[in-house]
């Protein structure tokens, strides 16, 4: 198991000793001007005609711009109102000493994740996830079991308990801490019931605060050191003491830390600038959040997705920049606009998995449906489509140029519907919650979309 990626005590001191600045001044006078500067200086330009670029020099420019941005701007600690600044030497040291492999889970469910290169023939890992969709206590265990039984799933994320003991699990309430404990217990029970007791689980989504996360750490009934724990980047390039408390606890507990990074396109920058921010957030994740890996989910501010033409370009170019210049392990987390049991969500899932895999992501982290906003509106079928298609891209030895042509043929099937995407159906409407089988309707729809992708050159192994 890798050590903390960098000197954790130095990180804590930087949060107390860095230059003081008001948050609004950090945004307006430091962050935004420097985003505009690096995009211009490194001549980064979006090409809508090539949603999967093959220009290695462009990926290098994005990497150099991201390093420039991070070293110039730093990370802003909202608690102390100080900028945490790092030197080039400190960044190089952290990148050099970073482990390019990660061991997750235990026993027969143990898996190894490694970094990948662009157009790598090495298969990516797969993490099946309903992300943060809210779920009833009644359906909670069955939904987790449905995801855990998927054979491609190396690890799983879990939904969020909407209520526990009759109370809403709102942050900093006693129900949040209770919800976090119940969440962890239910997840462990689900793993045993599907015969995967050692599978790595992301815990605990119901517990957002550090105190509740700490309460759910227990090697017997709760979050184990072999599970995955998350520390967010506050958009953009920020952190606070509650998040740093998580970082400190997870490291002291011996856990595996994932940086949660979701830069917002349409808030601080255009598509080019958001791409640079996304890569820079990985550097914050390494040095500040102490992440052993990253969950990367750049999203459109209005639609909360990353499956449109410009967002696929952002995802592809981000991973090309990271894969060509680092050995960082990063998971590409898909966000679709459409809901389950629709053709559109399967197209969105397939393209996100396809683009991510060929661009060098280490983990296919799939996928949030219906913009991750609607109660119980997610199923494993969307994740299955994304992961099967991403793996098929590697199995088929597709190049970026091949995927670019496939994407250009599939995008017209749904890109004009992004602002009016179908919500589809809920988990209980798509699955028999007792037998955990998808509906015949969804199975037939799945096969139809898969055949269409095969006709375009995606060679599925099964």
Confidence at residue 2, expressed as pLDDT on a 0 to 100 scale: 46
CATH number of the 101-126+219-455 domain? 3.20.20.460
What the block records as the tokens of 369 is: 């449906």
Distances (CA, A) of 422 to 121, 369, 403, 418, 419: 35, 11, 26, 9, 10
Among all chains, which residue has been given the structure tokens 């499956």? 307
289, 231 in Cβ contact below 8 A?
yes
What the block records as the tokens of 398 is: 């597709």
What the block records as the tokens of 396 is: 């088929």
Query: Can you give the pTM of this predicted structure?
Result: 0.97
Distances (CA, A) of 88 to 64, 346, 397: 12, 43, 36
Q: Residues with Cβ < 8 Å from 55, sequence gap 6 or more?
A: none
pLDDT in tens, the chain (462 residues): 445 677 899 999 999 999 999 999 999 999 999 999 999 999 999 999 999 999 999 999 999 999 999 999 999 999 999 999 999 999 999 999 999 999 999 999 999 999 999 999 999 999 999 988 999 999 999 999 999 999 999 999 999 998 888 888 888 889 889 989 999 999 999 999 999 999 999 998 888 899 999 999 999 999 999 999 999 999 999 999 999 999 999 999 999 999 999 999 999 999 999 999 999 999 999 999 999 999 999 999 999 999 999 999 999 999 999 999 999 999 999 999 999 999 999 999 999 999 999 999 999 999 999 999 999 999 999 999 999 999 999 999 999 999 999 999 999 999 999 999 999 999 999 999 999 999 999 999 999 999 999 999 999 999
| Closest to 214 measured CA to CA, from 233, 240, 173, 242 | 242
Q: How is the chain split into domains, by residue range?
A: 101-126+219-455
């Amino acid at each position: 198991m890798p050590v903390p990626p960098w000197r954790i005590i130095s990180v804590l001191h930087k949060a107390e000793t860095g230059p003081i600045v008001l948050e609004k001044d950090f945004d307006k006078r430091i962050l935004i001007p420097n985003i505009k500067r690096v995009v211009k200086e490194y001549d980064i330009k979006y090409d809508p005609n090539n949603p999967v670029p093959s220009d290695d020099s462009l990926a290098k420019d994005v990497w150099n711009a991201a390093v420039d941005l991070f070293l110039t701007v730093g990370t802003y600690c909202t608690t102390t109102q100080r900028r945490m600044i790092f030197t080039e030497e400190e960044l190089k040291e952290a990148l050099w000493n970073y482990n390019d492999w990660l061991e997750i889970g235990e026993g027969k469910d143990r898996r190894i994740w490694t970094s990948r290169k662009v157009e790598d023939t090495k298969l990516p890992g797969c993490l099946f996830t309903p992300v943060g969709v809210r779920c009833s206590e009644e359906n909670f265990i069955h939904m987790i079991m449905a995801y855990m039984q998927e054979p491609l799933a190396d690890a799983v994320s879990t939904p969020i308990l909407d209520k526990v003991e009759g109370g809403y699990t709102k942050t900093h309430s006693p129900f949040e801490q209770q919800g976090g404990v119940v969440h962890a217990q239910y997840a462990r029970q689900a793993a045993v019931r599907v015969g995967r007791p050692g599978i790595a689980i992301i815990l605990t989504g119901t517990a957002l605060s550090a105190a509740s996360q700490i309460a759910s750490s227990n090697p017997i009934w709760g979050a184990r050191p072999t599970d995955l724990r998350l520390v967010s980047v506050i958009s953009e390039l920020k952190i606070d003491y509650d998040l740093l408390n998580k970082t400190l606890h997870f490291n002291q507990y011996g856990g595996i830390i994932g940086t949660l990074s979701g830069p917002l396109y349409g808030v601080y920058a255009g598509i080019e600038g958001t791409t640079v921010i996304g890569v820079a957030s990985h550097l914050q994740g390494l040095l500040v959040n102490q992440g052993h890996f990253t969950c990367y989910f750049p999203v459109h501010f209005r639609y909360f997705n990353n499956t449109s033409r410009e967002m696929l370009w952002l995802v592809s170019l981000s991973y090309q920049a990271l894969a060509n210049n680092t050995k960082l392990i990063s998971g590409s987390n898909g966000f679709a606009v459409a809901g389950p049991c629709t053709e559109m969500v399967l197209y969105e899932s397939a393209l996100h998995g396809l683009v991510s895999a060929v661009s060098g992501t280490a983990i296919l982290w799939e996928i949030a449906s219906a913009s991750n906003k609607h109660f119980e509106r997610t199923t494993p079928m969307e994740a299955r489509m994304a992961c099967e298609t991403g793996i098929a891209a590697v199995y088929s030895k597709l190049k970026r140029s091949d995927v670019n042509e496939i994407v250009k043929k599939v995008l017209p099937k749904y890109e004009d519907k992004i602002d009016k995407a179908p919500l589809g159906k809920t988990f209980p409407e798509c699955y028999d919650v007792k037998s955990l089988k998808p509906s015949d309707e969804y199975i037939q729809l799945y096969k139809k979309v898969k055949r269409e992708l095969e006709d375009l050159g995606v060679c599925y192994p099964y």
